[in-house]
């Protein structure tokens, strides 16, 4: 596993949030970053994805359909979304993010975290 850092960039160009996560490789990290970015796009229209001092991506790529995502990536994204939503960053207030988490919980019968 490789460590990555995702910065959520708001409309003023400021960082509104950050998330650190592990992924198997750059491709997996890009998919996770694109999904998380889309989930928070009501507050942050762009993002930057870094692996150490190397920038990997600064704009969303085409999102994979849910059927194209492995269960591992789906679970990772769901966990990352909950982590972001419980953070102190401004991005935690994203209505899109909150709606996605609630839909995921409802779909899979997952109770709300304490």
pLDDT digits (tens, 9 = 90+) for 42-101: 999 999 999 999 998 766 545 555 555 677 787 888 889 989 999 999 999 999 999 988
Within a domain: 101: yes
| Integer angstrom CA distances of residue 67 from 15, 70, 74, 104 | 31, 8, 10, 15
Within a domain: 86: yes
The domain containing residue 88 runs over which residues? 2-108
13: pLDDT strictly greater than 70: yes
- The domain total for the chain is 1
pLDDT band per the 50, 70, 90 thresholds, residue 105: confident
Within a domain: 16: yes
Within a domain: 113: no
Within a domain: 43: yes
Does the reported pTM lie above 0.85?
A: no
Within a domain: 114: no
């Amino acid at each position: 596993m490789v460590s990555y850092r995702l910065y959520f960039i708001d409309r003023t160009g400021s960082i509104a949030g950050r998330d650190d996560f592990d992924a198997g490789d750059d491709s997996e990290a890009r998919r996770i970053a694109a999904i998380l970015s889309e989930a928070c796009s009501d507050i942050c229209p762009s993002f930057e994805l870094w692996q150490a001092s190397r920038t990997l991506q600064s704009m969303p790529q085409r999102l994979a359909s849910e059927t194209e995502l492995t269960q591992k990536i789906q679970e990772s994204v769901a966990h990352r979304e909950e982590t972001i939503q419980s953070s102190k960053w401004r991005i935690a207030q994203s209505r899109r993010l909150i709606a996605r988490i609630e839909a995921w919980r409802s779909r899979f019968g997952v109770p709300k975290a304490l």
